[in-house]
Structure 1
Amino acid sequence: MSAPGCWTAIVLAGQRQGENVFARNHGVQLKALIPVGGRPMVARVIEALRAAPSVGDIIILAQEPDRLATVLPGDSRIRMARSQGGIAQSIRAVAGKDAPFPVLVVTADHALLTAEMIETFLRGSGGDVSAALVDRKVVEAAYPETRRTWLRFSDGDYSGANLFALTGEKAYAALDLWSGVEKDRKKALKLLTSFGPVLAVRALTRTISLDKALAALGKKVGVEARAVRLPFAEAAIDVDKEEDLELVEAILKRR
């Protein structure tokens, strides 16, 4: 159980190339400000973080942080910071400094995020780096219409849940690795093969489990990496495109 308020949350609210069109189609300039259920989706994420007992300070990373400040609640725990060249680089610039460890990383487009999801993830996290995932069976049982990107392993298919835990400075090695992939996604296969032919072949042929793959990758860069499987189908649904937004709106109406 995490001590109350011990985690610093970093909210990734920057905008990638092409997302400004999605935003403008909904009458706003930034993706994080797209209304979901009548409220900017970044405000929904902040609400979930404020309701999570384990979360203390909240740092919002964006290229233009001042444009987000107007929709946020007045709370001394909330601070703004300017993004760097990439996501991993931006996290590295504040993690362990303006954002003291341990750090929880979330995204501003996780409009269905709840305090329960956050606390469940943090209870399951450990080692140097943890990532939340949801089993495909869980997602499709609840929302068979949704289309996700699946990570395929011998023990099943998983979708990322945009929740990451970094417990200390050893996590910088994982961020550096992430930064390299982020700069050139086409080199992802080359990166995988750099970890050794056995691991590469097993990953490509789905003959390695999620936990063993993460453990092997972590060992190569000197970190202990852990996967946290969440039981919430909604944890895998973020707002990346129009059909995601329609699904999230429908889910919120049912709530």
Structure 2
Amino acid sequence: MDTSTRSRAGPFPVGDRHSGSPLRVIVLAGGKAGTDPLAQAFGMSHRCLVPLGGRPLVAHVLQTAAIHPAVESLAVSVEREAFDGLFDVLSQLPGRGIVKLVEARENLVDSVLAAAHDWDGPLLITTADHALLSAASIDAMIAALEKAQVAVAMAPREAVLATNPGGAPSFHEFAEAAYAACNLYAVTDPEALRAAEVFRGGGRFAGNAWRVLRAFGLADLILLRFRAITLAGAMQRVSRRLGLRIVPVILDDGSQAIDVDDAQTHAAAEGLLRTAAADIVVPAHAGAASRL
């Protein structure tokens, strides 16, 4: 049985009032100051502060989340030395007062758990360099939680390359297709975060053979290595091992797999933002239309 959820995710936040449970969005923005090459190229301490389209990377993510009708709370996980650089970003956000800064911990899992503290509803987890995050992607992740405890966003290789032909992200090969991770995860509540223990120690889980071996066993590792299992089938096996229902959410918008982490992805994201802005048409007086 196919347990994936498919959505066409557009480039700008849209949507009607959400009737489900309020959502907290956790934005992972941490990184040791002065060590990120992209941040260094722009003279910034942290990648989350790198300018893109006239605003810091993290501002794009927070803007999309802050105006989404389902989002009630935002938590940014980052080192304390970056707090001052983020205050100006937060002051410009709509829905002021729903954002909190949480000091990043030593590893990814503990950072997520700290950012989830005092929240007992659904969580959406992403990264500060996911500047092209769309409201449609948020909608798709929320919808997936109606039938699962954990949702993981993926984009097909052809969609990613159509959006960013010069990029070379890591693709995970399955029996039916290859997918790129979108650094976008949703869980029904903090209790479901126990699945994140698999990620303890950092790194890209799907690309780490030993981590797969430890978590899911040799048989699953062999199936993945020889591309003998579908993405949905792999998630079903993971679900059984962890005791949680985990589903992939397939996003047909390849831009959702773009992490702005080097010069090439920065240029690609900036171009996509310019194109999207040029395509917004607003009504003008006398029935005419003008472009922003």
**What TM-score, normalized to structure 2?**
0.79
Structure 2 partner of 1:154: 175
* Separation in 1, partners of 2:169, 2:231: 17
Is residue 43 from structure 1 mapped to residue 59 from structure 2 by the alignment? yes
Is residue 176 from structure 1 mapped to residue 194 from structure 2 by the alignment? no
The answer to whether the 8 A contact 1:37-1:249 is kept is yes
Is residue 111 from structure 1 mapped to residue 131 from structure 2 by the alignment? yes
Relative distance call for 1:19 and 1:4 in structure 2 (3 A) is farther
Q: Which amino acid aligns with 2:59?
A: A
Structure 1 partner of 2:87: 69
The answer to whether the 8 A contact 2:34-2:40 is kept is no
* Separation in 1, partners of 2:125, 2:210: 27
* Separation in 1, partners of 2:171, 2:32: 21
Larger CA deviation: 226-235 vs 116-125? 116-125
Relative distance call for 1:18 and 1:148 in structure 2 (3 A) is farther
* Separation in 1, partners of 2:229, 2:71: 34
* Separation in 2, partners of 1:66, 1:32: 11
Structure 1 partner of 2:19: 3
Identity percentage of aligned residues: 27
* Separation in 2, partners of 1:203, 1:17: 36
Q: Please show how residues 1-255 of structure 1 align to structure 2 within 5 Å.
A: 3=19, 6-15=22-31, 19-64=35-80, 65-67=82-84, 68-72=86-90, 73=92, 75-95=96-116, 97-125=117-145, 126-180=147-201, 182=202, 188-194=208-214, 195-255=216-276
The answer to whether the 8 A contact 1:106-1:162 is kept is yes
The answer to whether the 8 A contact 1:173-1:222 is kept is no
- RMSD across aligned C-alpha pairs, in angstroms? 2.3
Q: Which amino acid aligns with 1:253?
A: R
* Separation in 1, partners of 2:252, 2:37: 33
Relative distance call for 1:178 and 1:76 in structure 2 (3 A) is same
**What TM-score, normalized to structure 1?**
0.90
The answer to whether the 8 A contact 1:153-1:209 is kept is yes
Map Cα deviations across residues 5-47 of structure 1 (whole Å, 9 max, x no partner).
Answer: 6111111111158743321211222110000001101111110
* Separation in 1, partners of 2:60, 2:37: 21
The answer to whether the 8 A contact 2:37-2:262 is kept is no
* Separation in 1, partners of 2:173, 2:255: 19
Map Cα deviations across residues 111-136 of structure 1 (whole Å, 9 max, x no partner).
Answer: 11122221133223442211111011
The answer to whether the 8 A contact 1:2-1:123 is kept is no
Q: CA deviation at 1:107?
A: 0.8
Map Cα deviations across residues 145-176 of structure 1 (whole Å, 9 max, x no partner).
Answer: 22111011111110111110011244232111
Relative distance call for 1:184 and 1:211 in structure 2 (3 A) is closer
